[in-house]
Amino acid sequence: MSERGNFITIEGGEGVGKTTNREFVADWLRARGYKLRITREPGGTQIGEQLRELLLRDQSPAPAEMTELLLIFAARAQHIAEVIAPALAAGEWVLCDRFTDATFAYQGAGRELSTRSIEHLEQLVQGNLRPDLTLLLDLDPRVGMQRALERGEPDRFEQEDVAFFDRVRQGYLTRAAKAPERYRVIDASLALPDVARQLQRELEVFVDER
Ligand code: T5A
């Protein structure tokens, strides 16, 4: 039986550069010979991508907050069953753009849903599965929104006000402070090469410890 792979997540608010830097992380890991599965949430499977479309679409009436939370965990259950768990079991590394920390930040801190309910769902859907490393790209949401809006039309989440995104950022930072062994906070306000340098430093430490 092959050794279990490692599960790495990239997190942060809107427009912090998760997708852009995911490529850097992936290239760095592949260059060191790790077999890598790149995926994202919400999404990552056919069912999950359909749920993503439903979640991000600007629609009226919008999904109720609890509906949103359950749809996110429904997509996650499928993602774990179909992609994440089999890949890790086969010894692949999984690099995921957002995971449950996003739910604690957006639905917990942002929408102010109870952390206890999210923890219950986390346990129900994931069992013991947690990321081994979380790279949190931290950025003032005003800058992140500017970057995201320059790129295209805002989705349903991107239409929230700045107070919502301030809570999201604080939610992430609070979780990171509580689990320093798993989280690495990256200053995403710097130019891309400087962000990449910070990521590389953290990856070197992580890989050395394996
Ligand atoms: N969601 C998700 C929840 O509410 N709960 C959950 O549990 C989960 C999993 C979609 C939404 O779903 C919500 C949160 C989200 O609103 P998403 O598509 O992953 O999730 O999230 P977005 O934040 O919308 O993704 P974006 O693609 O907008 O942002 P990224 O990936 O962080 O940013 P990226 O890489 O596309 O960069 C944005 C722009 O900035 C530039 C890039 O070139 C690009 O143009 N840029 C920089 N410019 C200058 N300096 C830098 N350092 C730069 N880095 C990037």
Q: How far is the CA of 97 from the centre of ligand 1 (A)?
A: 9
Average pLDDT, the chain: 96
Q: pLDDT confidence of 115, banded at 50, 70, 90?
A: very high
List Cα–Cα distances, 133 to 45, 79, 98, 158, in angstroms. Answer: 22, 18, 12, 26
**Best mutation site among 49, 95, 98 for ligand 1 pocket (most ligand atoms within 8 Å of CB):** 98
Pocket flag, ligand 1, residue 17 (CB < 6 Å) = yes
Which of 1-5, 84-88, 141-145, 159-163 bottoms out in mean pLDDT, i.e. has the lowest?
Answer: 1-5
Kindly report, residue by residue over 21-32, the tens digit of the pLDDT: 999 999 999 999
Share of the chain above pLDDT 90, in %: 95
**Secondary structure tally for the chain: helices H, strands E:** 9, 5
Structural tokens at position 9: 């997540």
Q: How many residues does the chain have?
A: 210
121 pLDDT above the threshold of 60: yes
Indicate the pTM of the whole model: 0.97
Q: Which residues contact 210 (CB under 8 A, 6 or more apart)?
A: 6
The whole-number average pLDDT for the span 60-80 is 97
Biggest alpha carbon–alpha carbon distance for the chain: 50
Question: pLDDT (tens digit, 9 = 90+) per residue, 165-175?
Answer: 999 999 999 99
